[in-house]
Amino acid sequence: EDQVTQSPEALRLQEGESSSLNCSYTVSGLRGLFWYRQDPGKGPEFLFTLYSAGEEKEKERLKATLTKKESFLHITAPKPEDSATYLCAVWDTNAGKSTFGDGTTLTVKP
Amino acid sequence: DTGVSQDPRHKITKRGQNVTFRCDPISEHNRLYWYRQTLGQGPEFLTYFQNEAQLEKSRLLSDRFSAERPKGSFSTLEIQRTEQGDSAMYLCASSETGGGREQFFGPGTRLTVL
């Protein structure tokens, strides 16, 4: 059974205080690791796709990296508008489905 | 760009009633997915379609749940004889063909079963 574990569950930062979110996964046929942002009451918003270990993607203050067992979402100098829940998901090509983690809820205080 | 749309956005029903939700994917996307999300949890995979074919269905999905995509465009998710445990956000997403493609989500349908 595929497993995706995200840590920490919640993270509170001061504006400008950089940090990282972790996503550990166990999947038999990994074909893509995805990061999404979700605001309360809304559907997830796609951020990044990573396909192979060593791959990195960047967008504004966010940078996603991938190893064979985990992925990190680095947030540099966050702003209050970065406050949201960040979800990690994997696509298992053997099982033919996605598995999501339970997310990290980020709060950035001004 | 119309994105993924879902209707209704909110549904309140009484236990035992049937409900149906609709999802309209991004027009050029062949794959359509359904998820269920409860508070504090990540989306849970329910099923997905490649055009009109239902390719995978979660074994956790009760027989009370059924999904269709008759013409390979919009999809419907029906829940029969609703139970209070069915209360959740039901999310629809779409993607281009192929495993491991990024999925674009709709705003969700919030179901409350009284």
Q: Which residues sit opposite B11 in a β-bridge?
A: B111
Give the residue-averaged pLDDT of B5-17.
Answer: 98
SS3 B84: helix
Mean pLDDT of the residues in chain A: 95
From A25, A33, A106, select the one nearest A64 (Cα to Cα): A33
Give the pLDDT of residue A86: 98
Give the pLDDT of residue B100: 81
Which candidate from B43, B55, B100 shows the least CB-CB separation from A91?
Answer: B100
Taking CA–CA distances from A46, the nearest residue in chain B reads B104
Give the pLDDT of residue A59: 95
Smallest Cα distance from B17 to chain A, Å:
24
From A106, A28, A107, A36, select the one nearest A71 (Cα to Cα): A36
Give me the residues of B, 4-23, that contact A with CB < 8 A.
4
Give the pLDDT of residue B43: 97
If you count DSSP H runs as helices and E runs as strands, how many of each does chain A have, helices first?
0, 11
Entry field: residues in chain A: 110
Banded pLDDT at B71 (limits 50, 70, 90): confident
From B22, B78, B79, B72, select the one nearest B50 (Cα to Cα): B72
Round the CA-based radius of gyration of chain B to a whole number and report it.
13
> Which residues of chain A neighbour B56 with C-beta distances below 8 Å?
95-97
Which candidate from B4, B42, B107 shows the least CB-CB separation from A102?
Answer: B42
Give the pLDDT of residue B97: 86
Taking CA–CA distances from A52, the nearest residue in chain B reads B100
Whether residue B21 has pLDDT greater than 70? yes
Contact A100 B99 (CB under 8 A): no
Contact B45 A98 (CB under 8 A): yes
Distances in whole angstroms, Cα of residue A91 to Cα of each of A12, A88, A98: 29, 11, 4
Percent share of chain A, pLDDT over 70: 100
For chain A, the first-to-last Cα distance in angstroms comes to 41
Residue with tokens 């406050």: A83
Burial of B73 (0-12, 13-18, 19+ CB in 10 A): middle
Q: What is the biggest distance separating any 2 CA atoms in chain A, rounded to whole angstroms?
A: 44
Structure confidence by residue, pLDDT tens digits, B25-44:
999 999 999 999 999 999 99
Banded pLDDT at B1 (limits 50, 70, 90): low
Structure confidence by residue, pLDDT tens digits, A34-76:
999 999 999 999 999 999 999 999 999 999 999 999 999 999 9
CA A89/CA A84 separation, integer angstroms: 16
SS3 A1: coil
Task: Give residue A57's identity as a one-letter amino acid code.
Answer: K
Banded pLDDT at A21 (limits 50, 70, 90): very high
Give the pLDDT of residue A96: 86
Give the residue-averaged pLDDT of A73-96.
Answer: 95
